């Protein structure tokens, strides 16, 4: 891998870093494919949580590589969008929680990566936006679909239609980011949250994510039925017996993922 590296921490947390600092970590087809390939490998390994971030403090991902996109025809652009959608789906629908540690610019494709994560932690120097319409195109890696689900249709449309850039405080106010931390601390804060997640029952966390994602796809009655099924299934696991037993016995649970 030329631009995407993975660090595997001792607590079962994986950190995926996009490192193309000379281009502000901008996305071209190779970078997007590397993101997808690494996420596929991690899926088979079964970490407890995945963090995605950009190398350096200037940019999470400053967007797509415009020089690379400029020469694309319609078919090449469709292929670029398709590999982008596939990679983002691996974040969005990963069995385990995904956290974006956002440092600096999260524009265009960078914002779309962040939106595909379950949780977003941003440094004070972070900024966000969809500049695509100023280039005569539109967000093509899921932005038009995920942004309305996260910040609501009206705000999402305003951001997409105007192309304006917003600072981190506004991003927090509209629910785009979960937490704001001092500049340079986004990855540290993400690791701390990932460690909290990793300390819980891994099967329970995975089923909880599946149930929460289900809410976005079905009506509430169907969602509640799915939740009840997942709730019941967990009572057949060793982890549930260990977790509840540890609570009653006033000790720390030792989950095995079974």
Q: Among all residues, which ones are annotated catalytic?
A: 112, 132
SS3 state at 72? coil
CB 156 within 8 A of CB 171: no
Residue 119, token pair as written in the block: 């949780």
Integer Cα distance of 250 and 45 in angstroms: 32
First to last CA, the chain: 33
CB 120 within 8 A of CB 151: no
**Which contacts of 8-11 are long-range, i.e. CB under 8 A and separated by 24 or more positions?**
8/45, 8/47, 9/191, 11/48, 11/194, 11/195, 11/198, 11/199
Integer Cα distance of 258 and 248 in angstroms: 20
Integer Cα distance of 37 and 15 in angstroms: 14
**CB count in 10 Å sphere of residue 93:** 13
Q: Looking at residue 184, what DSSP letter applies?
A: T
Integer Cα distance of 126 and 189 in angstroms: 14
């Amino acid at each position: 891998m030329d631009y995407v590296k993975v660090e595997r921490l001792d607590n079962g947390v994986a950190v995926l870093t996009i490192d193309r600092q000379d281009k502000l970590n901008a996305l071209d087809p190779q970078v997007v494919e590397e993101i997808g390939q690494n996420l596929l490998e991690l899926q088979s390994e079964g970490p407890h949580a995945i963090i995605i971030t950009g190398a350096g403090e200037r940019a999470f991902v400053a967007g797509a590589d415009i020089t690379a996109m400029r020469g694309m025809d319609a078919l090449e652009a469709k292929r670029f969008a398709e590999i982008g959608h596939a990679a983002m789906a691996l974040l969005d629908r990963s069995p385990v929680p995904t956290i974006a540690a956002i440092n600096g610019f999260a524009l265009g494709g960078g914002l779309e990566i962040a939106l595909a994560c379950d949780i977003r932690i941003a440094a004070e120097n972070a900024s966000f936006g969809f500049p695509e319409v100023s280039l005569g195109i539109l967000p093509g890696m899921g932005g038009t679909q995920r942004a309305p689900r996260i910040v609501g249709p009206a705000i999402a449309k305003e951001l997409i239609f105007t192309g304006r850039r917003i600072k981190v405080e506004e991003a927090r106010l509209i629910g785009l980011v979960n937490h704001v931390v001092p500049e340079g601390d986004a990855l540290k804060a993400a690791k701390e949250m990932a460690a909290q997640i990793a300390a819980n029952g891994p099967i329970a966390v995975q089923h909880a994510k599946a149930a929460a994602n289900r809410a976005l796809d079905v009506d509430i009655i169907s969602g509640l039925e799915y939740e009840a099924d997942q709730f019941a299934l967990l009572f057949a696991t060793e982890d549930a017996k260990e977790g509840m037993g540890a609570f009653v016995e006033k000790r720390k649970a030792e989950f095995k993922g079974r």
